[in-house]
A and B are shown apart, each in its own frame.
Chain A
């Protein structure tokens, strides 16, 4: 969002006297000139790394062997073993080391599957090169060829979260083999634990669960169970056609000619079990104050929810992704949602307003169970939530569940964030206890707590 509009919003709040304290953080957001780029440009795999000496190797250059074909996880016993080991680690008094929700490989543009690989990092004392790059204004690297000093020799478009760029470069190549049969479905380890709450019957156009098997189809010639009535009918038909039934009033079954094809069987077949359908909105605050762990926590929780939905509901749940700072924008896929960087100010109402608009325009409410998961650090420039609460009330009219996660900054007092305060004041948490859930945690909590948080949000 442009700075002018942000400032106008700021001014309006100030004039109306409902600007949130403390002012300092807000002023930082106000002056933030950042853009919602996708991830760190220097780790963007579409951009060439300028000073990387050590990643080229004989296998890729000489042998033409793909070095990362198949991931390392194939040698793991089971994920449960690993997590068990990690649990014992904690008992022994050392911090956990395996991260599950960290390395996410949702193929860009592909909604098929989210692969989550258990990862770890070997920590050592090493130099932090980020500072150096900052000092020089971006890392310098090698180059070769013509060009005067200062001359621009090439450019690459910047990828920002706000402007969905459609099919990105490298889309085809990356996604296909990143989704690897060896890797773990995160959904699998979560699947036993959760269920979408408050599913109502609404326009059964889709199946949410997977298929059931039933003896519903008929088949001639072979099958599991002989359907006697249908078979007899077929024999009659055949014999009438053969003129083997001289007198319809007096049928002698012993004289029937029976072709093998006349036998009609019931066979086992796959049936879609039609159920209520659902749309899930993910909404994330990506304002400047979300920098660091708060964003990591929210993104981790949302990837966990997202992959659980994908796994349990076999991709049948529709998902929508909204990002907001002082303005809200819808992005096309989880990849962009997950990787957009933080910048700008905070207005929660803008995000909710956009969801209400989408739901109204596409009349989703009549056909879908709607779930909304919102992740924020609890900051809102609008201290009283005067615009947020009405939007939230509107949402409660149609939503089956709204789950708000607040990742509190380590310096904030527990339960003291603007969002939590005005939600509590509004009384909505009690009035609509079944529809609205709020969960606040410190931004640096463990993954366990994040998963526990999902349970809180979706429990009946």
Chain B
């Protein structure tokens, strides 16, 4: 791995100037490396982060079957990594004009990483540095504890797709209520849980509090609690006790194990927590990447196209550019291309916003022709897409902007595949041109890890009771045993998982006619002493 040469670096700097002038915002420092195929082989299993911790599974070909992307939160072939400074990778024999195009694409990604709010938690620190420290720590632990470190990595990676990414993210934007802890405690917990007052009494207390606040201004709260103490002399003591015992709820299973696992609490095992922590932080770091694939690629494609065509340095390469650009951004006849889809959405947003279509007036229009003609010439399209790149992720983006007009304008449809037995061919057909169907199809193909909740009231006698929130899909059955084995190890006691299994009556290859009904049953798996058992819940 080596840095790109000075001449190419100069081209990159030129691209940055033009991108900044166009309104993109990113940190000025970047690093560009030339990578060989051999480098790629080593980098890919590490998500292109050269300093990521070593793990033997990286040395083996992992079965990354199609559709099994759910196992990994990050795209393993990222050309730019979200670090400070951002690092990007290049082939060493690209012509200059192609480098210009790729640089613009890369800058688009960097801008997205550094402005999209779903990456908010990654802004404060540099992953490569952190990863290097983690890697050293793991190497040290390995020298002390040998292969057990690898078992720990394996078991914690087994649940690293369940990390509470959204909970972490939410911490950054928690609105201040303006109330003190004491007020919160009094109204949220003390009255409701400790005293269990009825509603009218509760409302009365709120009114009382408001009266005090009005009368005494800043001293309102103080006077209010002075009265409270008269009524409930134990209040202050209860509040103190609550504050001492209060622990924030663990946002996910990994954190829960770190906080509460009796096995990890043992003196000889506390070192294990740091391994779990490393796996958890790394996973959370990567979470936004796969959740913004369409937007991120669409945004980068939008900008490489826009900026390349304006660039005066590479005049004369428009035809070659068009060829490569078409390969990247053409809509396939069947199949999905996140680059093409995302780019078209951004173009559409810009056009609609320019016409002023995201407004109350436009939404009130019923007449199709009027809607088509509607144009306020606001000139706010660019600004609008910049706001979109800041505030949306793939799900919200699709949900908000894939509408029937967009489907029609781009001639999109949901394609189906079926077997024609007479002619022995797979047929592809237009299944639907409805926006709703198209959206559902996109949602179904988006990354979506299952929700597994810890049920404290059922976790008795040293057991850990997990419940899978059923969303129409069962869990992959073959993986249950080993995943639960890992959790059992980390927890140090039996683990139960409540989930839903489906059963389909057998039938032939993609037969015609109504699909057979799947019967769903709620079941409970128990992993105890490394043995898995299953029982049906009624």
Closest 8 A-B residue pairs measured CB to CB? A143-B415, A33-B508, A58-B79, A144-B331, A123-B479, A142-B336, A57-B77, A51-B445
Chain B residues near A54 (CB, 8 Å)?
69, 75, 290, 293, 338, 447
**Contacting B432 at CB < 8 Å: which of A129, A138, A149?**
A149
Q: A60, A140, A153, A157: which has the most chain B beta carbons within 10 Å?
A: A140
Query: Among B21-29, B136-144, B480-488, which stretch is in contact with chain A?
Result: B480-488
Tell me, yes or no, whether B378 is within 8 Å of chain A by CB. Answer: no
19 A–B pairs (Cβ distance < 8 Å), ordered by A: A51-B445, A56-B339, A58-B102, A67-B40, A71-B41, A75-B59, A76-B59, A95-B481, A123-B483, A124-B160, A125-B159, A132-B473, A134-B504, A134-B515, A140-B444, A141-B441, A148-B430, A153-B333, A153-B334
Contacts A63-B91, A94-B151, A127-B475: A138 and B42 contacting too (C-beta < 8 A)? no
**Contacting A149 at CB < 8 Å: which of B290, B337, B433, B510?**
B433
Tell me, yes or no, whether B178 is within 8 Å of chain A by CB. Answer: no
Query: Among A41-49, A298-306, A418-426, A432-440, which stretch is in contact with chain B?
Result: A41-49
Tell me, yes or no, whether B9 is within 8 Å of chain A by CB. Answer: no
Q: Who on chain B is nearest to A134 by CB?
A: B504
Would you give the shortest CB distance from A424 to chain B, in whole angstroms? Answer: 32
Give complex CA distance A126, B160 in Å: 11
Chain A residues near B510 (CB, 8 Å)?
41, 137-138
Would you give the shortest CB distance from B207 to chain A, in whole angstroms? Answer: 48
Tell me, yes or no, whether A52 is within 8 Å of chain B by CB. Answer: yes
Give complex CA distance A336, B474 in Å: 32
Tell me, yes or no, whether B246 is within 8 Å of chain A by CB. Answer: no
Tell me, yes or no, whether B507 is within 8 Å of chain A by CB. Answer: yes
Residues 56-75 of chain A: 1 if any B CB is under 8 Å from the residue's CB, otherwise 0? 11111111111101111111
Would you give the shortest CB distance from A67 to chain B, in whole angstroms? Answer: 6
Please tell me if the beta carbons of A143 and B412 are within 8 angstroms of each other in the complex. Answer: yes
Contacts A95-B482, A140-B431: A75 and B476 contacting too (C-beta < 8 A)? no
Chain A residues near B247 (CB, 8 Å)?
none
Tell me, yes or no, whether B452 is within 8 Å of chain A by CB. Answer: yes
Give complex CA distance A204, B12 in Å: 68
Please tell me if the beta carbons of B515 and A63 are within 8 angstroms of each other in the complex. Answer: no
Give complex CA distance A213, B78 in Å: 52
Chain B residues near A154 (CB, 8 Å)?
333-334, 427-428
Q: Which of B392-437 contact A (CB under 8 A)?
A: 410-421, 423-433, 437
Give complex CA distance A145, B338 in Å: 17
Chain B residues near A260 (CB, 8 Å)?
none
Chain B residues in contact with chain A, CB under 8 A? 37-38, 40-42, 44-45, 56-63, 65-71, 75, 77-80, 90-91, 94, 101-102, 105, 147, 151, 154, 157-162, 290, 293-294, 297, 324, 327-328, 331-339, 341, 410-421, 423-433, 437-438, 441-442, 444-450, 452, 468, 471-483, 485, 502, 504, 506-511, 515-516, 518, 530
Please tell me if the beta carbons of B448 and A127 are within 8 angstroms of each other in the complex. Answer: yes
Give complex CA distance A94, B324 in Å: 49
Q: Which of A11-59 contact B (CB under 8 A)?
A: 28, 32-35, 37, 41-43, 47-59
Tell me, yes or no, whether A139 is within 8 Å of chain B by CB. Answer: yes
Query: Among A113-121, A261-269, A319-327, A383-391, which stretch is in contact with chain B?
Result: A113-121
Give complex CA distance A92, B65 in Å: 29
Q: Who on chain B is nearest to A88 by CB?
A: B147
Please tell me if the beta carbons of B427 and A152 are within 8 angstroms of each other in the complex. Answer: yes
Tell me, yes or no, whether A209 is within 8 Å of chain B by CB. Answer: no
Chain A residues near B45 (CB, 8 Å)?
72
Would you give the shortest CB distance from B407 to chain A, in whole angstroms? Answer: 10
Give complex CA distance A379, B90 in Å: 57
Chain A residues near B472 (CB, 8 Å)?
132
Chain B residues near A28 (CB, 8 Å)?
506
Please tell me if the beta carbons of A122 and B415 are within 8 angstroms of each other in the complex. Answer: no
Give complex CA distance A103, B90 in Å: 30
Please tell me if the beta carbons of B91 and A155 are within 8 angstroms of each other in the complex. Answer: no
Give complex CA distance A120, B150 in Å: 15
Known: A33-B507, A129-B67. 8 other contacts (CB 8 A): A53-B445, A125-B449, A127-B450, A141-B336, A141-B417, A144-B413, A146-B411, A149-B431
Give complex CA distance A358, B412 in Å: 54
Tell me, yes or no, whether A135 is within 8 Å of chain B by CB. Answer: yes
**Contacting A50 at CB < 8 Å: which of B94, B162, B336?**
B336
Contacts A119-B60, A147-B430: A125 and B162 contacting too (C-beta < 8 A)? yes
Chain A residues near B159 (CB, 8 Å)?
124-125
Give complex CA distance A41, B418 in Å: 10
**Contacting B430 at CB < 8 Å: which of A82, A95, A150?**
A150
Q: Who on chain A is nearest to B331 by CB?
A: A144
Would you give the shortest CB distance from B294 to chain A, in whole angstroms? Answer: 7
Tell me, yes or no, whether A151 is within 8 Å of chain B by CB. Answer: yes
Please tell me if the beta carbons of A152 and B41 are within 8 angstroms of each other in the complex. Answer: no
Contacts A28-B506, A143-B412: A125 and B452 contacting too (C-beta < 8 A)? yes
Tell me, yes or no, whether A156 is within 8 Å of chain B by CB. Answer: yes
Chain A residues in contact with chain B, CB under 8 A? 28, 32-35, 37, 41-43, 47-67, 69-77, 82, 85, 88, 92-95, 98, 102-103, 117-129, 131-132, 134-158, 160, 343
Give complex CA distance A64, B518 in Å: 43
Please tell me if the beta carbons of A139 and B417 are within 8 angstroms of each other in the complex. Answer: yes
Give complex CA distance A41, B507 in Å: 16
Q: Which label, helix, strand, loop or mixed, suits the secondary structure of the A interface?
A: loop
**Contacting B338 at CB < 8 Å: which of A53, A102, A125, A157?**
A53
Please tell me if the beta carbons of A43 and B412 are within 8 angstroms of each other in the complex. Answer: no
Q: Who on chain B is nearest to A138 by CB?
A: B417
Contacts A54-B290, A155-B420: A144 and B79 contacting too (C-beta < 8 A)? no
Give complex CA distance A134, B517 in Å: 10
Please tell me if the beta carbons of A51 and B474 are within 8 angstroms of each other in the complex. Answer: no
Please tell me if the beta carbons of B412 and A94 are within 8 angstroms of each other in the complex. Answer: no
Please tell me if the beta carbons of B425 and A51 are within 8 angstroms of each other in the complex. Answer: no
Contacts A51-B441, A122-B57: A85 and B147 contacting too (C-beta < 8 A)? yes
Chain B residues near A35 (CB, 8 Å)?
421, 508-509
Would you give the shortest CB distance from B192 to chain A, in whole angstroms? Answer: 34
Would you give the shortest CB distance from A416 to chain B, in whole angstroms? Answer: 24
Give complex CA distance A154, B336 in Å: 16
Would you give the shortest CB distance from A147 to chain B, in whole angstroms? Answer: 4
Contacts A50-B335, A125-B479, A144-B332: A117 and B77 contacting too (C-beta < 8 A)? no
Give complex CA distance A123, B446 in Å: 20
Please tell me if the beta carbons of A72 and B38 are within 8 angstroms of each other in the complex. Answer: no
Give complex CA distance A64, B341 in Å: 20
Q: Who on chain A is nearest to B473 by CB?
A: A127
Give complex CA distance A33, B332 in Å: 33
Give complex CA distance A92, B38 in Å: 34
Give complex CA distance A229, B151 in Å: 72
Would you give the shortest CB distance from A336 to chain B, in whole angstroms? Answer: 16
Chain B residues near A143 (CB, 8 Å)?
333-335, 412-415, 428, 430
Please tell me if the beta carbons of B426 and A155 are within 8 angstroms of each other in the complex. Answer: yes
Q: Who on chain A is nearest to B147 by CB?
A: A88
Chain B residues near A153 (CB, 8 Å)?
333-334, 415, 428-430
Contacts A92-B151, A127-B473, A150-B429: A72 and B333 contacting too (C-beta < 8 A)? no
Give complex CA distance A158, B415 in Å: 18
Chain A residues near B157 (CB, 8 Å)?
122, 124
Please tell me if the beta carbons of A52 and B67 are within 8 angstroms of each other in the complex. Answer: yes
Please tell me if the beta carbons of A132 and B71 are within 8 angstroms of each other in the complex. Answer: no
**Contacting B60 at CB < 8 Å: which of A70, A76, A149?**
A76
Chain B residues near A58 (CB, 8 Å)?
77-80, 102, 105
Give complex CA distance A157, B427 in Å: 9
Please tell me if the beta carbons of A103 and B473 are within 8 angstroms of each other in the complex. Answer: no
Q: Who on chain B is nearest to A67 by CB?
A: B77
Please tell me if the beta carbons of A65 and B430 are within 8 angstroms of each other in the complex. Answer: no
Give complex CA distance A37, B426 in Å: 11
Chain B residues near A63 (CB, 8 Å)?
79, 90-91, 94, 102
Please tell me if the beta carbons of B515 and A140 are within 8 angstroms of each other in the complex. Answer: no
Please tell me if the beta carbons of B334 and A131 are within 8 angstroms of each other in the complex. Answer: no
Chain A residues near B506 (CB, 8 Å)?
28, 32
Please tell me if the beta carbons of A49 and B432 are within 8 angstroms of each other in the complex. Answer: no
Give complex CA distance A160, B423 in Å: 13
